[in-house]
Amino acid sequence: MLAARLLPNNMLELTMETRSPPETALETVVTILSREGKIIEDRRTDPDKPAVCAVVGSGLWSLNPALVEVQVVSTTDNVTKLSIVGTAREGLIKQRAGEKATRRIADLLAQALPPCA
């Protein structure tokens, strides 16, 4: 465990916007994150910044765990903004697991939610 603390983080943050209402977007986020990994924190009831965190497999053969957090914010009447942040520890072999996990979840959300015009 001590060695893991000394390893650098690989992190990526992406944002996307959708025409779905925040409640629908949150349910889609929960569905995708529970299918791709294990939800470890569910803050859907937070009135300020509802979010869901999960540990998903990433990197080579999905063996490197990555923490992915998705925050959902309603910006206007018809637009919901999603912030997707993925973080993973990097060892000697750079796998970019945090980046890969973030992009994978963002792609799955983009397929499931209607984009803004």
Report pTM: 0.90
Q: Judge contact between 73 and 81, C-beta under 8 A.
A: yes
Cα dihedral 9, 59, 103, 38 in deg (nearest 10): -90
How far apart CA 28 and CA 31 sit, in angstroms, is 5
What is the domain partition of the chain in residue ranges?
2-112
Write out pLDDT tens, residues 64-101. Answer: 899 999 999 887 778 999 999 999 988 777 889 999 99
The domain defined by 2-112 folds into Alpha-D-Glucose-1,6-Bisphosphate; Chain A, domain 4 (3.30.530)
